[in-house]
Each structure stands twice: as C-alpha cells, then as structure tokens.
Amino acid sequence: MTTTIRIKKGADIRLKGRPASQVDQAPSAALYAVQPPNYKGIVPKLEVKEGAAVEAGSVLFHSKEHSNVKFLSPVSGTVKEIVRGEKRRILAVVVEADGKNTERSFATVDAASLDRGAMVEAVAERGFFAFIEQRPFATLVNPSDKPRSIHVSGFDSAPLAANMEVALAGREAAFQAGIDALCVLAGGQNVQIGSKKGQTLYNGIQGADVHVFDGPHPAGNAGVQIHHTRPINKGEVVWTMHPEDVANLGETLTSGTYCAKRTVAVAGSECSAPRHINATLGCQITALTGGKVDESNVRIVSGNPLTGDTTKNDGFLGGLHHQVCLLPEGNKPKFLLADGWLGLGLDKFSLSKSYPTWLLPKSKEFVMDTCNNGEERAFVVTGQYEPVFPFDIYPVQLLKSILANDIDAMEKLGIYEVAPEDFALCEYACTSKIAVQSIVREGLDMLKKELG
Amino acid sequence: MKALHNLLDSIRPQFEEGGKFSKFWVVYDSLETFAFTPGHATKNGVHIRDGVDLKRTMFMVILALVPALLFGTWNQGHQYLLSIGEIAANDSLSLMFWDKLFIGAVKVLPLVVVSYGVGLGIEFLFAGMRGHSINEGYLVSGMLIPLIMPVDCPLWMVALAVAFAVIIAKEVFGGTGMNILNVALTARAFLFFAYPKQLSGEIWIHNVKASADAGLLADGYTGATALGHLASTVGKGMEEPAVTGVMSMFGADGMFSLTNSFLGLIPGSIGETSALAILIGAALLIWTGIGSWKIMSSFLAGGLVMGLLFNLMGLNAYMTLPAIHQVVMGGFMFGMVFMATDPVSASQTERGKWIYGFFGGFLSIMIRVFNPAYPEGVMMAILFMNVMAPLIDHYVIQANVGKREKRALAAQGATA
C-alpha cells in the first residue's frame, strides 16, 4: 500500500467549460505541422525542402545540437511550406496530407531484448526524444545523458485539462510497452509514475514505482511530484514524459509504424460542446474546433489556459499540447463600478479574498476572459505566491535573483527543480501582473548558457 | 458609461506623443485606468489573470482605515468640547454628536487634502519624469499620514513631511515597491526630529493652548496624551504625589481607563486612539487576506510579552501598567494593523513575518517605557524593524539554502 502524498498548496481555477468524457473522432485535417518553437532548447536543422514527399514517420528536421533528437512527420503527404519568422527562424514545417497515410516502417522492438545504448538509438530513430523533457532547465533532453530517473505524471491537474482515463482508454498494453522502454533508458527500476488519489489506471503497471498524489493544481506537474518524492539536486538530471506519449512510444516500438495519436480536450466557456477528440499530432485547429471560431472575440489557446500558446483558426496543435481552450477575449474596457476594480465582483474568480466570490460554493464555475485585469506594477503584495507554489523554495526571491542575473543565487534558491509551468499559478495570482513564467524561462536559459 | 469612455477616447490623442498635452500623459493615463480597467489582454504566459489588482488591494486598505478615520474625526471634536468643559466625561457620548463631527472634520479634512495634494503631486511629477505610470501605493500612504498627525499640526508642516517622505523614503529608492522604510512613518519621524518642540505638548487637542490662555480649560486638562503623562512619571519614586496622580488617571474611573483607551475616548493622533475602530479595520484586512495576520498577531504577542515582563520587574510606575493597557494606548494598535503590515517595508518571507512582528511589538513597548524622550516607541520600533527586515529575510532564506545544500551533499554521499 503506497501512502498518498498530500499537496496542500495550489489552487484549482474553476473555469466553465470542462471537457465531458465523451470522445469524438476528429475529421482528418488537410494540413499538419511540426512547430520548432514548441520545443524548448532546440535549434532546428531541416532535412526536407518545400515540395518534398514524406511518409508518416519521415524526419522533417532534427536538433542542431543533438542530431539524434528528430522530429517526424505525423502524416504522409508533401511538405507544403516552411514557415519562417524574424531572422528566418523556422516557425513551422507544414505538411499537406495526401490522405493515403503511407507509413515508414521501423523494425519492431522488444524492450527486454535491448541494452540501454540500443534503446537510445531505437527511441531516437523513432523521433521520441522530441517528447521527453528534462529537469533542470525544462528543455528537451540530451539523449547522451544518463538520467537519474524518468518521471511520468499520470494526470493533468491544469484547468480544463484532458482526462487521462479517457486519453489512455484501451491503450494499457501500449503504455506498458512504453514504460518497459523507459525502464531500459533509465537503467533499471528508475521510472516513477505520479498517480492521482482514486485513479486506478496505473494499478497493473509493471516496472515503475507509482506514487499517489492528492491536492489541487499544480499537483499534476511533474516538477511538483519530483520535488515531493525525490527532489533534484545540482548535477542531477531527471527526464519527464507525458503518459500519452509513453503509450505512443510503446505502440511505435511494437507495431513498427510511427504512432502520433493525440487525445485533445477541446474546452472552455466559448466552446459549444466541451469534450475529448481523438486527433493526430500537429493537426490544424479547425479540425478540432469543428469550424472557424470568431478570432476577434475568442482566444484560441493550444495547451492549457495558464501555460499554452495563443493560436489561430489556421494554426496547429502544439507538439506537447493535449488540449485546446476557447476563452473570451478580454479586450474591452471595464468601468470601475460595474465590472472594474471597484465593483462588487460577484462573477470575478479570485484567489485573493478581495472579491466576495470566495464565499460561493466550490461547485460554482466561472467564465474568465483574457483581460489582464489591471496594469503591471512593481512587486508590492507579499505572501501571494507561496500558497500556490508547492515547493520548499522561495518563489519571489528566486524571481528577484533571476531579474538580477545572479546565477549563484539562482542555484542556491533551487532553480534546478522548477519549470516555468510550476510558476503559472503565481503568475495568475499576481496582483502586480508580473510576467512570472517568462522571467523563469529567461533564468533557465541564462543558467543553461552559463553552464554550457 | 459608454459616453464617458468615448469622451476619454476622443481626448486621448491630445495627450499622446506629439499631442498638445503630451506632458500630461501620466495624468490622463492614471485617470483613464482609474475609471476603466483597460481592455489589455494577456499576451505571453497565462491567458487568464486573477481579478485582483493593486487598485483593488489598496482600496481595501483605505476601506479598512475608514472606521479609524470617522472615529478619529468625531473624537477630535469630542476632546475639544471636553477640554473647554462644554461637555463632561460622564455625559452621553451621543450628546452634541454632529457638533463633534463637524469640529473634527474642519480640522481633519484639510490635513487629508494637503497630504493627498502634496503626495500625489510629487508622484505625478516623478512618474512624468521617469515616463512610467502612477503606482497606487500613495493612495494608502496619503490616508495614513493625516491619521498619525496631531490634530493641530500646522498644514505647512504636514506638507513638508509628506514631501520629505515621498521623495527621500520612496522616490529615491525607485518608487512604490522599492522603499525600505514605511513612507507614512517616515513622514511622522521627520516631524518628530525636525520639529520636536512644535510636535510635543499642546497640539494634541484642538486649540488647547488658546483655551488655556483664555482660561477656558476645564480642570485637570493639560492636553497631554496618555503616553505623555506616563513619560512624566519615569525617574520619580512610585509614591510621589505627581506619580500617583498620573497613575490614578489610568485607573478604572480615570480619564485613561482601559475602557476609554480601548474605545479611543482619549487625546492622541487623529486615527490612533480607538483600538476598537482599528480592530474593525484589522478584521477587514485579515478577512480579505490583504493584511498579514501573522505580523499582526506576533506584533500583539510581542507587545504583551514585553508588557508582562515590565509588570514582573515593576521598577517604576510606568512598568506596573497592565500589559493589556499598554497595547491599547498610543499608536500601538494603529502601528500593528496599518504600519507594520506594509508589505513593502515588512519582512517578505512568511517565517520572517513572525519574527519581524514579534520584535516590532516587543520593542514598541520597550522604547516607550525606557526612553521617555520617545513616548511614541511604536514609530521607532517599526522603522527599526523595517531596516532589520531584509536581514531577517536573509537568515530565513539562508536556512532554506542550507537545507538544500545539505540534501545535495547527502545525495552525493549516497552515490559516491
């Protein structure tokens, strides 16, 4: 019997439009894309040109630094466009699907028969290092590292997140095969799964330690779970992977074809039918939303409302995202007495208690728009980050050390353990509207550059 | 409200870069954001933001100050009428209620106006010079300053103190959020040291000197505050008639009885006298989570502990005053609820807040008893703890850092 680890700090933002457990099949999209900016810590090096024919599983580009971190095409077709931004930075490799789904074939692999080196090669060839991130730095991994352990968070606690029971339904064997492969990568019994209290999904899984967590968001963040089981020290590397990607890895290894399934939660108050959709990695947004959304009044977010990326109708599902949220744009001014700062605010969800909504029953859900609800100010209010930051780390002091470019202080204050997503609730709660996550990202990038 | 917003929009170009009034952009911007939370949507990072902002937070603090302000205004009138014998101490409190409020308001409102006028004027000037928007911090400081002033403090002195505090305590450090010392207390400390003569004795009750000169003063009225009276006992034997006379004022029937001190029916700075009114504000601050209950409770504990220690020592008459009486007198409660909890100048770590608050309360009582030259020990204690707060935080954080280092060493030991 494993003991439940209770995460006390954190908060569940009660957004309207949570996805129902109903699962629909997405229509096949015309366009798919793999977007290098979705992956932190890589510079893409193209392996295809515009107009080239690709199979599902063909390499589109790889990481310049680690050439065995490869990014594969989820579908077969032709490379329609290489979208570039400022300084010719590659933003997306767009593939026009031919609808035939010609698949590149790989050798089938039995995890038990491979040693670690061979497994690294097998995972690299099948493009799955694109789905493994690491702490410290919260970037994609360096496949030549030997991680201390590999951590799979078995549930997503973010607002409007996909339900893992739905996403992994019927894929237990694939998930087990993926865990077997991770065990080889981690060198033995070094794979951990963080399960939610009451979740039975991982009961039969062999080879991994299952830790049970209970508590509000961000209890589902890998960083939080690692911190509460075996915190990361300087010099240690821990890899993290999403359960659906683990199942995809398992399926790819056993079937011999590239598996790029994505169960996407399409949710939010502006979504007419919030539900799960079975889709393919990198598909166009319209295939998920079932048509065009009024972009000027609705924000389309690929990922969760706290950490995701803004996208458009003709944009694409992010490579590491499992949900798409439709939220009302908050681009209209709010008069102080009506819905502004001096109003009663009976519909304003707030983690501070300065609006009376904290007295309402916990079942009430709120429509929240994307308004900043105020202007950026200096740090004034203290003690508002700590209650939503379940680490034994001083968040404000760590942020200040980053702003001061003080690498030594950042290390001492525990920057190795955190990812920007762990600070998402701090940013949400911030009275001074400070861009906390981007400060953390800068700090991590700075540290990585400094340490080489 | 559409009409108001359209009006603001229509005059906006005149204030923007190149417009006729572009120098006054700060004024326009602050008024516009005051009236309407701008429709600025989130860009990077989180897509949804909490409803709370600094305006809301500061407004809650002002709301919490309202009971102390209203009571203080009334009490100034009450004290004035008492001093000239117009009413007696055992008359019903509702007697001449409106007269009291009116007399108080005539004195208090100008102080508030001067404080906001001068303070916000300087803030606008600095914001304009630096090209950033107005921070809401002064909205609270501007209300705190008149509340800790004696009622007859000349307006020019208040103006000077505000200017000194805003410029030296805040703007030179970079503005709201960057200051080391509490702005309002700096204003008070400035007056205390720059004008010691004017700020002691006969300004705690409106017109008390003139009343005395005209022979109008009721018997036994000197116009001194509770702490002023008590300070006069230090250094004298406990049995001297002067001392027993003073101490009898703190007895159950005296002018400074525990009930009177708690309700605030005594002379003193405008907002500080009523522990009851202040505690109502404290309840709001704690209820909304804006004021740190940790600082308030540890501050109170610190004061009580020091008071009890003095009771045990009992070396002079001042020390024998019950601890509970000590903490409801003078600026203790006001400092505890509104000054010590200023998040910018207080300790910023949760553990540090306990230490900071405790020593703040402890030193407040210690200074007021040990050093009669500084009857208002609370001001000195909080300013001192403001200076100490970064040090407290440093040690709290070092403990956390040390724990992490130890863990890393243990992990190395395990693998080696």
Do residues B263 and B276 touch, judged by C-beta distance below 8 A?
Answer: yes
% of residues, chain B, pLDDT over 70:
98
Do residues A380 and B137 touch, judged by C-beta distance below 8 A?
Answer: yes
For residue A77, give every residue at least 6 positions away whose Cβ sits within 8 Å of its Cβ, in sequence order, or none: A32, A53, A54, A95, A96, A97, A98, A99
Q: Inter-chain contact A428–B50, Cβ cutoff 8 Å? A: yes
Do residues B366 and B306 touch, judged by C-beta distance below 8 A?
Answer: yes
Out of A306, A335, A348, closest to residue B51 by CB = A348
Do residues A344 and A357 touch, judged by C-beta distance below 8 A?
Answer: no
Out of B39, B176, B408, closest to residue A330 by CB = B39
Q: Which residue of A has its CA nearest to B293?
A: A383
User: How far is A33 from A79, CA to CA, in rounded Å?
Assistant: 9
* A335: closest CA of chain B, how far (Å): 4
User: How far is B339 from B379, CA to CA, in rounded Å?
Assistant: 9
* B403: closest CA of chain A, how far (Å): 10
Mean pLDDT value of segment B85-102 = 85
User: How far is A408 from A398, CA to CA, in rounded Å?
Assistant: 11
Which residues does chain A have within 8 Å of residue B136's beta carbon, measured at their own beta carbons?
377
Tokens, residue A379: 């740090």
pLDDT number for residue A1 = 47
Q: Inter-chain contact A373–B53, Cβ cutoff 8 Å? A: yes
A-proximal residues of B, 288-317, CB under 8 Å = 288-290, 292
Which residues does chain A have within 8 Å of residue B404's beta carbon, measured at their own beta carbons?
233, 412, 414
Task: Inform me whether the pLDDT recorded for B237 exceeds 70.
Answer: yes
User: How far is B147 from A9, CA to CA, in rounded Å?
Assistant: 38
Q: Inter-chain contact B37–A353, Cβ cutoff 8 Å? A: no
* A22: closest CA of chain B, how far (Å): 26
Do residues B324 and B266 touch, judged by C-beta distance below 8 A?
Answer: no
* A75: closest CA of chain B, how far (Å): 30
Sheet with strand A275-280: strands edge to edge = A23-25, A275-280, A261-267, A323-328, A298-302, A309-311
Q: Inter-chain contact A349–B51, Cβ cutoff 8 Å? A: yes
User: How far is B78 from B223, CA to CA, in rounded Å?
Assistant: 13
Q: Give B197 or B170, the one with higher predicted confidence.
A: B170
Residue B41 DSSP class? B
Q: A23-25 and A275-280: which strand pairing?
A: parallel
Is there a single domain that holds both residue B271 and residue B316? Answer: no
pLDDT band at A278 (very low <50, low <70, confident <90, very high): very high
Q: Give B239 or A134, the one with higher predicted confidence.
A: A134
H helix runs in A187-341, sequence order: 222-229, 243-255, 285-289
Sheet with strand A139-140: strands edge to edge = A4-6, A209-214, A191-196, A149-153, A238-241, A132-135, A139-140
User: How far is A179 from B193, CA to CA, in rounded Å?
Assistant: 72
For residue A441, give the nearest of A16, A220, A139 by alpha carbon.
A139
Q: Is B55 on the interface with A (CB under 8 A)?
A: yes
- The total of other beta-carbon atoms located within 10 Å of residue B322's CB is 14
Confirm whether B29 is domain-assigned: no
Is there a single domain that holds both residue B274 and residue B300? Answer: no
**Mutation site for A-interface testing, chosen from B2, B29, B37 by largest number of A Cβ within 10 Å:** B37
Is there a single domain that holds both residue B67 and residue B194? Answer: yes
pLDDT number for residue B1 = 65
Q: Inter-chain contact B400–A393, Cβ cutoff 8 Å? A: yes
Is there a single domain that holds both residue B58 and residue B182? Answer: yes
Average predicted confidence (pLDDT) for chain A: 93
pLDDT band at B200 (very low <50, low <70, confident <90, very high): low
Q: Is B397 on the interface with A (CB under 8 A)?
A: yes
% of residues, chain A, pLDDT over 90:
82
User: How far is B126 from B113, CA to CA, in rounded Å?
Assistant: 20
% of residues, chain A, pLDDT over 70:
99
Q: How far is CA A206 from the centre of its chain?
A: 25
| Residue whose entry in the numeric block shows the structure tokens 């028969």 | A113
Exposed/middle/buried for residue A378 (C-beta within 10 Å: 0-12, 13-18, 19+): middle
For residue A222, give every residue at least 6 positions away whose Cβ sits within 8 Å of its Cβ, in sequence order, or none: A135, A151, A152, A153, A194, A240, A419
Out of B36, B54, B397, closest to residue A335 by CB = B36
Q: Which residue of B has its CA nearest to A434?
A: B45
pLDDT number for residue A108 = 93
Q: Inter-chain contact B46–A428, Cβ cutoff 8 Å? A: yes
Is there a single domain that holds both residue B58 and residue B74? Answer: yes
Q: Which residue of A has its CA nearest to B397?
A: A394
User: How far is B95 from B323, CA to CA, in rounded Å?
Assistant: 32
pLDDT band at B416 (very low <50, low <70, confident <90, very high): low
A-proximal residues of B, 83-122, CB under 8 Å = none
Confirm whether B161 is domain-assigned: yes
For residue A198, give the nearest of A175, A224, A219 by alpha carbon.
A219
User: How far is B267 from B202, CA to CA, in rounded Å?
Assistant: 11
Determine the residue type at B341.
T
Q: Inter-chain contact A350–B176, Cβ cutoff 8 Å? A: no
For residue B280, give the nearest of B303, B256, B263 by alpha carbon.
B263
User: How far is B350 from A394, CA to CA, in rounded Å?
Assistant: 10
Confirm whether B96 is domain-assigned: yes
Is there a single domain that holds both residue B315 and residue B335? Answer: yes
Confirm whether B10 is domain-assigned: no
Confirm whether B238 is domain-assigned: no
b/e for B197-227, b at 16 or more Cβ within 10 A?
eebbebbbbbbbeebbeeeebeeebbbbbbb
Q: Is B48 on the interface with A (CB under 8 A)?
A: yes
**Mutation site for B-interface testing, chosen from A371, A410, A413, A430 by largest number of B Cβ within 10 Å:** A371
Is there a single domain that holds both residue B272 and residue B405? Answer: no
| Residue whose entry in the numeric block shows the structure tokens 């770590």 | B349
Which residues does chain B have within 8 Å of residue A370's beta carbon, measured at their own beta carbons?
41-42, 47-49
Element (H, E) at A122: helix A116-125
Task: Inform me whether the pLDDT recorded for A367 exceeds 50.
Answer: yes
Is there a single domain that holds both residue B204 and residue B307? Answer: no
Q: Is B35 on the interface with A (CB under 8 A)?
A: yes
| Residue whose entry in the numeric block shows the structure tokens 């893992």 | A164
For residue A187, give every residue at least 6 positions away whose Cβ sits within 8 Å of its Cβ, in sequence order, or none: A116, A146
Q: Is A84 helix (H, G, I), strand (E, B) or coil?
A: strand
pLDDT band at A411 (very low <50, low <70, confident <90, very high): very high
Number of A to B CB contacts under 8 A, please give it.
216
Q: Inter-chain contact A331–B39, Cβ cutoff 8 Å? A: yes
Confirm whether B33 is domain-assigned: no
Q: Which residue of B has its CA nearest to A436?
A: B45
pLDDT tens track for B9-58: 788 778 777 777 777 777 777 777 777 777 777 877 899 999 898 989 99
Which residues does chain A have within 8 Å of residue B397's beta carbon, measured at their own beta carbons?
394, 397, 413
Is there a single domain that holds both residue B276 and residue B306? Answer: no
Mean pLDDT value of segment A338-345 = 76
Name the β-bridge partners of A117: none
For residue B112, give the nearest of B59, B67, B159 by alpha carbon.
B159
b/e for B268-306, b at 16 or more Cβ within 10 A?
bbbbbbbbebbbbbbebbbebbbbbebbbbbbbbbbbeb
Is there a single domain that holds both residue B342 and residue B406? Answer: yes
H helix runs in A205-337, sequence order: 222-229, 243-255, 285-289
Of A268-282, A390-404, B99-113, B373-387, give the lowest mean pLDDT range: B373-387
Mean pLDDT value of segment A324-349 = 82
**What is the ipTM metric for this complex?**
0.91
Element (H, E) at A183: helix A172-186
pLDDT number for residue A186 = 93
For residue A171, give every residue at least 6 positions away whose Cβ sits within 8 Å of its Cβ, in sequence order, or none: A247, A251
Is there a single domain that holds both residue B210 and residue B309? Answer: no
DSSP characters for B355-401?
A: HHHHHHHHHHHHHHHH-TT-S-HHHHHHHHHHHHHHHHHHHHHHHHH
pLDDT number for residue A93 = 97
Mean pLDDT value of segment A64-90 = 95
* A171: closest CA of chain B, how far (Å): 32
Mean pLDDT value of segment B365-370 = 92
Mean pLDDT value of segment A414-424 = 95
pLDDT band at A157 (very low <50, low <70, confident <90, very high): very high
pLDDT number for residue B161 = 96
Is there a single domain that holds both residue B162 and residue B271? Answer: yes
Out of A333, A370, A435, closest to residue B48 by CB = A370
Mean pLDDT value of segment B250-254 = 84
pLDDT number for residue B38 = 78
Q: Is B130 on the interface with A (CB under 8 A)?
A: no
Residue B5 DSSP class? H
Mean pLDDT value of segment A113-126 = 94
Q: A59-63 and A53-54: which strand pairing?
A: unpaired
User: How far is B152 from B20, CA to CA, in rounded Å?
Assistant: 43
For residue A166, give the nearest of A68, A32, A261, A96 by alpha carbon.
A261
Out of B1, B40, B348, closest to residue A338 by CB = B1
Q: Which residue of A has its CA nearest to B1?
A: A335
Determine the residue type at A191.
V
Q: Inter-chain contact A354–B60, Cβ cutoff 8 Å? A: yes
Confirm whether B30 is domain-assigned: no
* B329: closest CA of chain A, how far (Å): 29
Q: Is B76 on the interface with A (CB under 8 A)?
A: no
For residue B176, give the nearest of B57, B25, B329, B352 by alpha carbon.
B57
Determine the residue type at A62.
H
Residue B174 DSSP class? T
pLDDT number for residue B9 = 79
Out of A354, A380, A396, closest to residue B137 by CB = A380
Q: In total, how many domains does chain B have? A: 2
Task: Inform me whether the pLDDT recorded for A220 exceeds 60.
Answer: yes
- The total of other beta-carbon atoms located within 10 Å of residue A101's CB is 15
Domain limits for position B315: 292-416
**Mutation site for B-interface testing, chosen from A373, A411, A425, A430 by largest number of B Cβ within 10 Å:** A373
Confirm whether B124 is domain-assigned: yes
* B306: closest CA of chain A, how far (Å): 28
Do residues B103 and B270 touch, judged by C-beta distance below 8 A?
Answer: no
Task: Inform me whether the pLDDT recorded for B318 exceeds 80.
Answer: yes
Do residues A203 and A282 touch, judged by C-beta distance below 8 A?
Answer: no
